[in-house]
Amino acid sequence: MTKQKSSARFRFSGVMLFLALFFFLVPALQAGDYRLYMLAAGVPCAMLLCCTILARAFSLDRLILALSLFFCSVGIASLAMTAPDTALVQAVSCGIGIIVLIVGAILIRSLSGSLLTAISAAFLGLLLLAAKLIAPTFTLPATQPALTLLLIAFAVLLSREGPISAAGLGIAAAVLLMLRGETADALIWGLTILLLLFAADGRLLVVLPSLAAFALLFYGMYSMQTQTLVYPEALSADTLKAVGVLGADLLPEGLAVPETGSLFSRLLGHYGLVFTGLTVLLYLPLILRGTTVASCARMRFHAILAMGICLLLGLSTLASVLSFFGFLPFTGLEMPLLTTSLPSLCAHLFLAGILCGISGRNDSDLAEDAHLAMLAK
Amino acid sequence: MKQMRSRFRLLTLLIVCAFLLTIVLCTGHVLKTTGISLSSLSSISLPVPGQSASPDPSALPDPSPAPESTPDPWAGFSVENTPPGTDNPPEEEYNVVGL
């Protein structure tokens, strides 16, 4: 069984590396740009290094790690064709993100679900959200890092203190997000904590009042913000035909490409509908692996945190895709791991690192159980 | 903890269904926007074994009809004869825009 596992992982890593090489080598040969050659050499090497040496050294989950690195490389590749300088900057950002991923994996092993952790994380998270309201000149995109900290605090409170304090923290965060005008993030956060409350507690006495509170909150804010909620302009038939199945070297007209933020538009324009659809589908194994890690966790805190990460990443992905095609009245939503914003990228990779750390902890618990069983014989 | 794990499985199922639904919705939206229908995709005919791949030309109806055999729907209409305000095509029920 160990040989089969390692050969399957080897094949999977090989496929990911081949794809990463293909993304950068072909444009490098076409354009002859030295920056693209640097990316063609650097990105697959970094992936190989992380998936082999670092994964073994820090006991990281290889599937989660490989998928996270693949999304990072796809983000760099979507910039490489038309903006090689930005692609280099994105590669450096991903390098910083990998360090944050390792920090997250190490931290979760030593982090206990104590009240001090909850209070510190909650305080920092709420402060980051309230910073823009207190000081309007604070323009750093701190939403994703704040949600990361708040999720950790929520998981500790839910596992240790009970649902009431956790729900209170969740509602406070949702209010702050709405006051900042980030309705989409507030909706995703609200759904995440409602589903976590249902999963961890399950009592109707807890879930129904929380649902009612969130419904009232969202209804109140929706009625105040109806004018600002505008459905994004849907992609026209000409744009979709120009994008085609395999994409184009130059981005077609009608495809709104922001200078910063989500790379989804660039990915669609350069690599076409089929590849983009397959990339979105690759989020599913990442989330399924996360839910498996959550189900196998021994500590309640780790289980709730892992499940919360999966819900947050999954709902963000779905909201981003649906809003891009005009099904939701939100604009500028970012896909997890496919963003040029350094704080958001680091926050998502930190969450992936936490998942890797919990998976490593599960494996070490299993190994300890096997050792104890052997000693008992 | 056991109950929590069973609820986790339920949430996993919900996420998977949501993903698949999203993919179906977006695929349908793309097909609808580009004007590609599923019936046009399924109308590709494959050659049946035992029959020739190309049909017998003599069996096919003549694609170019005789000029006098087909009634011209526009026969009664001309720029001079059309009264003002009635220059609509005969199949008004398909004229969605109403011009």
- Residue boundaries of the structural domains of chain B: 1-28
- Domain residue ranges in chain A: 2-376
The pLDDT tens digits of the residues spanning B13-25 come to: 999 999 999 988 8
C-beta atoms of B33 and A300 within 8 A: no
> Cβ atoms within 10 A of the Cβ of A110, count?
7
Give, for all 377 residues of chain A, the pLDDT tens digit. Answer: 455 556 666 677 777 777 777 778 877 887 778 888 888 888 888 888 888 888 888 888 888 999 999 999 999 988 887 788 888 999 999 999 999 999 999 999 887 778 888 999 999 999 999 988 887 777 777 899 999 999 999 999 999 888 888 989 999 999 899 888 888 899 899 999 999 998 888 777 777 777 887 887 777 776 765 555 555 555 555 555 555 555 555 555 555 555 555 688 888 887 888 888 889 999 999 999 999 999 999 889 999 999 999 999 999 999 999 988 888 888 778 889 998 889 999 999 999 999 999 999 888 888 888 888 888 77
Q: Which of A312, A357, A8, A361 is nearest to A149 (CA)?
A: A312
- Between CA A240 and CA A252 the distance in angstroms is 9
Chain B contact present for A31, CB below 8 A:
no
Mean pLDDT of the region B69-90: 49
Beta bridge partners, A335, equal A338
A–B: how many Cβ contacts below 8 A? 74
Answer left, alpha or beta for residue A59, where phi above 0 means left and psi between -120 and 50 means alpha. left
DSSP SS3 for A90: helix
Beta carbons of A306 and A290 less than 8 angstroms apart: yes
Query: Can you give the three-state secondary structure of chain B, one letter per residue?
Result: CHHHHHHHHHHHHHHHHHHHHHHHHHHHHHHHHHCCCHHHHHCCCCCCCCCCCCCCHHHCCCCCCCCCCCCCCCCCCCCCCCCCCCCCCCCHHHCCCCC
| CA-based torsion, A169, A171, A174, A176: positive or negative | negative
The amino acid that residue B8 corresponds to is: F
What lies within 8 Å, CB to CB, of A206 at 6+ separation is A163, A164, A167, A197
C-beta atoms of B7 and A234 within 8 A: no
- In angstroms, the separation between the Cα of residue B31 and the nearest Cα of chain A is 9
pLDDT at residue B92 is higher than 50: no
The token duo for A144 is 């994703």
- Between CA A231 and CA A181 the distance in angstroms is 16
pLDDT at residue B40 is higher than 80: no
Share of chain B above pLDDT 90, in %: 14
DSSP SS3 for A39: helix
B-chain CB neighbours of A326 within 8 Å are: 29
- Between CA A210 and CA A260 the distance in angstroms is 35
C-beta atoms of A199 and B8 within 8 A: yes
Q: Please provide the DSSP assignment of A321-368 as one string.
A: HHHHTTSSS--SPPBTTBBS-HHHHHHHHHHHHHHHHHHHHHHHHHHH
Query: Can you give the three-state secondary structure of A235-258, one letter per residue?
Result: CCHHHHHHHCCCCCCCCCCCCCCC
C-beta atoms of B33 and A237 within 8 A: yes
Question: CA A21, A325, A63, A195: dihedral to nearest 10 degrees?
Answer: 160
What lies within 8 Å, CB to CB, of A33 at 6+ separation is A27, A84
Per-residue pLDDT band at B94 (split at 50, 70, 90) = very low
Nearest residue in chain A measured CA to CA from B21: A318
B-chain CB neighbours of A255 within 8 Å are: none
Beta carbons of A331 and A258 less than 8 angstroms apart: no
Question: CA A20, A21, A27, A30: dihedral to nearest 10 degrees?
Answer: -170
B-chain CB neighbours of A273 within 8 Å are: 30
- In angstroms, the separation between the Cα of residue A273 and the nearest Cα of chain B is 9
Q: Which ipTM score applies to this complex?
A: 0.83
What pLDDT is attached to residue B96?
A: 42
The token duo for A238 is 């000409």
Task: Name residue, tokens 């910083």.
Answer: A96
- Between CA B77 and CA B86 the distance in angstroms is 10
DSSP SS3 for A166: helix
C-beta atoms of A291 and B7 within 8 A: no
Beta carbons of A304 and A158 less than 8 angstroms apart: yes
- Between CA A101 and CA A337 the distance in angstroms is 12
B-chain CB neighbours of A295 within 8 Å are: 5, 8-9
Q: Which of A33, A14, A36, A12 is nearest to A23 (CA)?
A: A36
- Between CA B85 and CA A100 the distance in angstroms is 72
What pLDDT is attached to residue A9?
A: 65
Chain A contact present for B18, CB below 8 A:
yes
